[in-house]
Homo-oligomer: A and B are copies of this chain.
Amino acid sequence: MESDWLLLDRQLCFAVHAASRAFDGAYRRVLGGLGLTYPQYLVMLVLWEREPVTVKELGTALRLDSGTLSPLLKRLEAAGFVRRERSRADERSVLVRLTPEGRRLKERAADVPKTIVGSSGLDPRELAELRSTLRRLTATLDAAVGA
């Protein structure tokens, strides 16, 4: 029946949109004390794992373009957490590095994951399943759009 699709779509797009913003809100609350926004935290997570990275690599890892990353990185730099410099090997690229302050922030953010997972109300199995479904959804949607 056609109306099933309509109803499911209506409910699903509400659900995805609302869940994303609820997630943002939960991180916003936890990260506020660190002086980070949620997207800034995502960038820091990448940098805490490997460094330096180019803006391009950050964009690939986070599925974000330079229009989003450029001003965001400037704010992180203004906050003293990262440094940006042109790559000497390829002058087109900009390398992003942590400052000592940015490295120290990792310790202060250590219990963020536990807090968030805890307030999600889902058990590890559900979280893993959700993650897997969302990944598949993202990949398929991106492929359909031709990204």
Copies of chain A in the complex: 2
Closest Cβ of chain B: how far from A138's Cβ, in Å?
4
Contact mask for chain A residues 13-31; partner B; CB cutoff 8 A; 1 contact, 0 none: 1111111111111110100
A79 close to B (CB within 8 Å): no
Contact mask for chain A residues 106-145; partner B; CB cutoff 8 A; 1 contact, 0 none: 0000001110110111101011111101111111111011
Residues of B within 8 A of A29 (CB): 145
Give the total of A residues in contact with B, Cβ under 8 Å: 61
Residues in A lying within 8 Å of B, measured CB to CB: 2, 4-6, 8-27, 29, 38-39, 41-42, 45, 62-63, 112-114, 116-117, 119-122, 124, 126-131, 133-142, 144-145, 147
